Chains A and B, each alone.
Chain A
Amino acid sequence: MGSITFIEHYGTQHAVDIEEGKSLMQIAMDNGVPGVDADCGGACACGTCHVIVDTNWINITGSATEEENQMLDLSPEKADSSRLSCQISTSEAMDGMVVRLPEFQM
């Protein structure tokens, strides 16, 4: 089974197992990764599961959709490879992927 690594803003790393088909947000929540709030429960409506995908992996995850960008645009920490993790469905192709968390979810 593959894994994905979340890196908190101040560097703490969390490697979590991929559960094919589950959203990246849900995997973070299920594994208690700090720094992902997911207030709306995965409806792409609050912007609090913001992650910054390592640019080497953005081809696999794809870029943020217009719907995601509506929320992401409100964050001062938005980067080119920012995504809402509730909108990323995980797969084994993401084995070894690294995503960074912003300093704050807002």
Chain B
Amino acid sequence: MKFISSVIEKSAALIPIHLQIKGAHLFQKTKKSLLKSSPVPDFIESPIPEVSTLAIADIDVSNPFLFRQNRWQSYFKRLRDECPVHYQKNSPFGPFWSITRYQDIMFVDKHHDLFSAEPIISIGGQPDGLAIETFIAMDPPKHDAQRLAVQGVVAPKNLKEMEGLIRSRAADVLDSLPIDEPFDWVEKVSIELTSRMLATLFDFPYEQRHKLAYWSDVAASSPEATGGTGSMNEAFTVAAEVAKQFSQLWRAKEAKKAAGEEMGFDLISMLLANESTQDMINRPMEFLGNIVLLLVGGNDTTRNSMTGGVHALNQFPDEFIKLKNDPSLIPNMVSEIIRWQTPLAYMRRVAKQDVELNGQTIKKGDKVVMWYVSGNRDEREIDQADQFIIDRKNARKHLSFGFGVHRCMGNRLAEMQLRILWEEIIKRFDNIEVVDDPKYVQSNFVKGYTNMMVKITAKSA
């Protein structure tokens, strides 16, 4: 939808962004009813068969129920062992290559000269009319300039300033939890804490923080991009809301700046302080793109690692004992949680030329999916890869943050949030027992939880 985007770009200075998005929405609705263009795949869940019953060519790891049904491990293991660079030609998202071994993933991730991150990093495309521009899906040199402008917001220096606030907010959440009775950890801890964090990063009205998590969920759940449960109407409604509220926030900060007041360390203040981004509001798709990138980047990832850690320690109870005996293992455990969970399963690229990789020829223009979730369990690179070991050596070597120029910008923030959460948990609780099977997100991209019932035991005084 280059056309709509560029019309929005040009009229940006005159018409508020959210009204333009509403206009684009109407256009898409009309277009859809008239032309039946770009059909959105309709995903209906059915049981996924044992991988051993399939021919290798029929394996389709883009199935958005693979994580939900907890079948992913055997599927990716078979690809790693038998066909590490695998071509699926008939997926609902079109044909794509799967890269499943650690070293091959590293190769693709490092070679942005061979593999482009444009136009987007999900297996499927973006919803028609909502093609936002974000540097996670840009190649150098444009990527570098855009990233440099915003990365200060999550730079370690800035984080140090925020650590106290993050800790008190985490403590607050943990102190309010019910003891000895079942509750949903996802809702009460993971979502709550990440929403608070996002509100802090954006300096967003604190009492409205839950909108941030909701918006992020909608942005990441488009069926055409990731096989999620979202709808076109919801996506447009949310995009318009995001644009409206963040434009207001931007204008308020801009006025502050003009009045010569002291600016904060939040994202928008930083964008306003940087010469190359201070007029970003006039480039709505870029503006929206950066907001959405930080929303999604700071939401699903940390949220699902917060739940994943509890889940892992329940599956490997000896590690829980190890942790209680030696809380100084927390920083290392945080890396191990991020590996074990791999909250974002992959990043997608497009080959810029023909490339030979592990015996296969990837053709120019082919989609290439780096399955971090598989590389993180590659026995060739990681000893006892399916085991959760909190004092694992080289735990930091996981793929969850990606490598190369697109390496996760918020990695230090994520690690700090998780470290603080576990430091505060260990002070308070003797046990967190998962009392029912967790429920998982429908998506081929977000490897996460919708619900996990737990019961906590307070530390005996």
Scoring B residues 109 to 140 as 1 if CB is less than 8 Å from chain A, else 0, what string do you get? 11000000000000000000000000000001
Contacts A45-B110, A106-B412; A76 near B152 (Cβ below 8 A): yes
Q: How far is the CB of B371 from chain A (nearest CB, A)?
A: 17
Q: How far is the CB of B161 from chain A (nearest CB, A)?
A: 13
Q: Does B357 contact A (CB under 8 A)?
A: no
- Interfacial chain A residues near B407, Cβ < 8 Å: 45-47, 71
Inter-chain contact A70/B403, CB cutoff 8 Å: no
Inter-chain contact A41/B155, CB cutoff 8 Å: no
Listed residue (B147, B152, B394, B403) with the most chain A CB atoms within 10 angstroms of its CB: B403
Q: Does A30 contact B (CB under 8 A)?
A: no
Contact of A39 among B148, B151, B157, B396 (CB under 8 A): B396
- Interfacial chain B residues near A70, Cβ < 8 Å: 140, 404-405
- Interfacial chain B residues near A74, Cβ < 8 Å: 144, 147-148, 151, 405
Query: With contacts defined as CB atoms under 8 Å apart, how many contacts are there between chain A and chain B in the complex?
Result: 52
Q: How far is the CB of A101 from chain B (nearest CB, A)?
A: 13
Inter-chain contact A45/B106, CB cutoff 8 Å: yes
A47 to B157, CA, bound (A): 17
Q: Does A37 contact B (CB under 8 A)?
A: yes
Q: Does B92 contact A (CB under 8 A)?
A: no
**Closest partner residue, chain A, to B143 (CB atom):** A74
A46 to B106, CA, bound (A): 11
Q: Does B156 contact A (CB under 8 A)?
A: yes
Q: Does B397 contact A (CB under 8 A)?
A: yes
The 6 closest A-B pairs by CB, nearest first: A104-B156, A45-B403, A39-B396, A41-B397, A45-B110, A45-B404
What are 6 contact pairs spanning A and B, CB under 8 A?
Answer: A37-B396, A44-B110, A46-B403, A104-B155, A106-B151, A106-B156
If A71-B404, A74-B151, A76-B151 are given as contacts, then 12 extra A-B residue pairs at C-beta distance below 8 Å, sorted by A number, are A37-B396, A40-B403, A45-B109, A47-B407, A71-B405, A73-B144, A74-B144, A74-B405, A76-B152, A103-B157, A104-B155, A106-B155
